[in-house]
Amino acid sequence: MRALCSPVSVYTCDGSREEFDRIAQEMVLKGTLVPLNEKKRPHSFWCRSHPDDVARVEENTFICSRNKEHAGPTNNWKDPLEMREFLQELYRGCMQGRTMYVVPYCMGPIASPYARIGVEITDSPYVVLSMYLMTRMGKEVLARLGDGEFVPGVHSVGRPLKPQEKDELWPCNPANRWIVHFPEDREIWSYGSGYGGNALLGKKCFALRIASVLGRDEGWLAEHMLILGITNPEGEKKYIAAAFPSACGKTNLALMQSALPGWKIEAGGDDIAWIHFGPDGRLYAINPEAGYFGVAPGTSMKTNPNAMKTFEHDALFTNVALTEDKDVWWEGMDKTPPSNLISWRGVPYDPTAGLPAAHPNSRFTVRSSQCPAYDKEAENPYGVPLSAILFGGRRSGTVPLVTEAFSWAHGVFMGASISSETTAAAKGEVGRVRHDPFAMLPFCGYNMGDYFAHWLSMGKRGDKLKLPRMYMVNWFRKSDGQYLWPGFGDNGRVLKWIFERTSDKASAKKTEIGYVPETLDLSGLHLQQSHLDELFSVNREEWLKEAKELESYFQLFGEHMPDALLQELRDLEKRLLATDSL
């Protein structure tokens, strides 16, 4: 890679605090980073990206499997031999004038038998700082690696520097971006973007796209899921994993403070779970990450106090607004923006211009161990046992607040059926409803029909009595443009019902689409009865339309679509059409 990319120098990262400080200071001197107020937010920095490098670029993301069928209809595919030839030319000399950083990192606790090691080569110091916060990185990883296998990844911002040429504050190449995966070779090549999952190759590229293929081949699951621990007032603790599309509340749920007295929530992970069978036949989950790359707008002491406390120090903020006294601000933090703000575009913020002070996909990056609700079991090398798995999306209608699946296969059908209104986490139109099975549409590294089959096979391998129960949730249902459910800490009421259902201690009513609560703990919450009725209503006409839409969508996967899920769809339609189905 050194010969191909022609960097000025090569530096292997050791993962130390001194190294972080040295690289951060170099970025401060260049003007890319701004140190924040040491009294308000010690050892923290603000930066802003290029205006066209702010989110995932799904249209430029490729799965280059040897067989196009293996990539499936939901992934972009190119022939791997042709792509390799193209990349060789693209990367030739791409790091001229820059340092090539070698970043060894571990996904998962270093001592875990389920952890995997990656090595990212990058010419971006921003990536180095982010990987320091997001993963276990440096000398310890190299010591564990020895002569073992690792997932190689190369990343370049795609802007070689000529001699004496002045660098940009955020070098990138928006006109020429490529996020490329070779699943059979377990390789990642990324070019042109310096932002988020496009550039931090441990995150979506390794932990989901490559790891999903590893999981298929080895009998485990790599999922776009949070992990949380929930303890009832009697001291009994259970673990829940939940799959939501990006910017649909995973971090808020993982770091939640329950509104119910005596119920404790602890954060195991806010984005990714690797799930495997333990020796006792239960499914266990580890969080392969060690940090949060969370959406900032909407995060406040009201919506997510634990997140606010987590990034009080040692944090990196990207594309939020900068206050006059060198602190950060974004929409939703409080009602009134401070005066003399600098917007994410680097210019004075004008509240009358109709443009946000912080980009809707602006982020905070911080180590998860700083969270006051951090679950120490997140460091357990063998993971935590799952009692429930949740699927959800952002739907303003149709989908009830919470629904329990009839069986494992029905739960897999729920996961395959997720549709969600799009958010700013991906480039493109915001607010349109799209299918996002298992919240994995942008992240599954192989044919999604085969992915559904893999989920079904996991259920057949496990003891039915020990498998987690599965649920569909929707915090975002509206009436007359207003949210029906308060969300945030009150989502703990739904988690309480799920907790008690997994011990057969909570009552439920059977509907055409699954079980919904007969009663929910609403103590101290004042909801209109009409709103409550609507939250749990199942409109047959709407669901028949949903079923027809699903029937059309499932055809996309052709012969790869499992018969068991097509049968679940037929059964749903029968229940909806039967007058006495319940």
Q: Are residues 390 and 279 in the same domain?
A: yes
Question: % helix / strand / coil in the chain, to the nearest 5?
Answer: 30, 25, 45
Same domain, 140 and 241: no
264-269 and 225-231: which strand pairing? antiparallel
Please identify, among 160, 193, 219, the residue that sits at the C-terminal boundary of a domain.
219
The last residue of a domain, from among 166, 199, 219: 219
Q: Residue 248 has what pLDDT?
A: 84
What CA–CA distance (Å, rounded) separates 204 from 555? 27
Residue 370 lies in a domain: no
Question: What are the φ and ψ backbone dihedral angles of 438, each rounded to 5 degrees?
Answer: 55, 15
pLDDT at 421: 82
Identify each DSSP E strand in 80-183 by its residue range. Answer: 99-107, 116-122, 136-137, 151-156, 178-182
Please check whether residues 228 and 204 belong to one and the same domain.
Answer: no
Tokens of 238: 């259970």
At 164, which CATH number? 3.40.449.10
5 is catalytic: no
Closest CA to 205 of 447, 452, 454, 445: 445
Whether 42 maps to a domain, the answer reads: no
Question: What is the CATH number for 472?
Answer: 3.90.228.20
pLDDT band at 335 (very low <50, low <70, confident <90, very high): confident
Mean pLDDT in residue range 487-510: 97
Q: Are residues 519 and 537 in the same domain?
A: yes
Q: Is the torsion defined by CA of 472, 474, 480, 485 positive or negative?
A: positive
- Identify whether residues 150 and 241 lie together within a single domain: no
Q: Phi and psi of 218, rounded to 5°?
A: -115, 0
CA–CA distances in Å: residue 19 to residues 2, 218, 492: 22, 36, 41
Residues 315 and 365: beta-carbon distance below 8 Å: yes
Determine the pLDDT at residue 428: 65
Residues 512 and 414 occupy one common structural domain: yes
What's the rounded Cα separation, in Å, for the pair 184 and 153? 14
Q: Which residues contact 152 (CB under 8 A, 6 or more apart)?
A: 118, 119, 121, 186, 187, 188
Clarify whether residues 189 and 239 are in a common domain.
no
Tell me whether residue 344 is in a domain: no
Asked if 22 and 146 sit in the same domain, the reply is yes
Cβ neighbours for 10, distance < 8 A, ≥ 6 positions apart: 2, 99, 100, 102
Mean pLDDT for 66-89 is: 98
Query: What is the per-residue pLDDT across 151-204, written as a single tens digit (0 to 9) for each?
Result: 999 999 999 999 999 999 999 999 999 999 999 999 999 999 999 999 999 999
Q: Say what the pTM is.
A: 0.96
Helix axes 125-134, 17-30, angle to 10 degrees: 140
Instruction: Let me know: does 246 contact 425? Beta carbons within 8 Å.
Output: yes
Extract the tokens encoding 567.
Answer: 């049968």
Q: In this structure, is residue 466 part of a structural domain? A: yes
Are 80 and 199 found together in one domain? yes
CA atoms within 13 A on the CB side of 457: 15
46 forms bridges with which residues in the sheet?
A: 34, 317
What is the extent of the structural domain holding 445?
222-291+375-577
Give me 159's structure tokens. 């802007």
The reply to whether 334 falls in a domain is no
Residue 286 forms part of a structural domain: yes
Domain-located, residue 403 = yes
Check whether residue 143 and residue 243 sit in a common domain: no
Answer with the one of 219, 249, 281 that is the final residue of a domain.
219
84-111 in b/e form (b: 16+ CB < 10 A) is beebeebbeebbbbbbbbbbbbbbbbee
Per the residue annotation, which of 172, 248, 371, 444 is the catalytic one?
Answer: 248
DSSP string, 14-49: ---HHHHHHHHHHHHHHTS-EEPPTTTSTT-EEE--
> Is the domain of 158 the same as that of 266?
no
Could you tell me if residue 511 is inside a domain? Answer: yes
Write down the pLDDT at residue 429: 66
505 band by pLDDT with thresholds 50, 70 and 90: very high
Q: Report the C-alpha gap between 189 and 154 in whole angstroms.
A: 5
Q: In degrees to the nearest 10, what's the CA dihedral of 200, 206, 208, 214?
A: 180
- pLDDT tens by residue, 393-407: 999 999 999 999 999
Identify whether residues 254 and 106 lie together within a single domain: no
Domain count across the chain: 2
The pLDDT score that the predictor gives to residue 10 is 98
Q: Answer yes or no: is pLDDT of 557 > 60.
A: yes
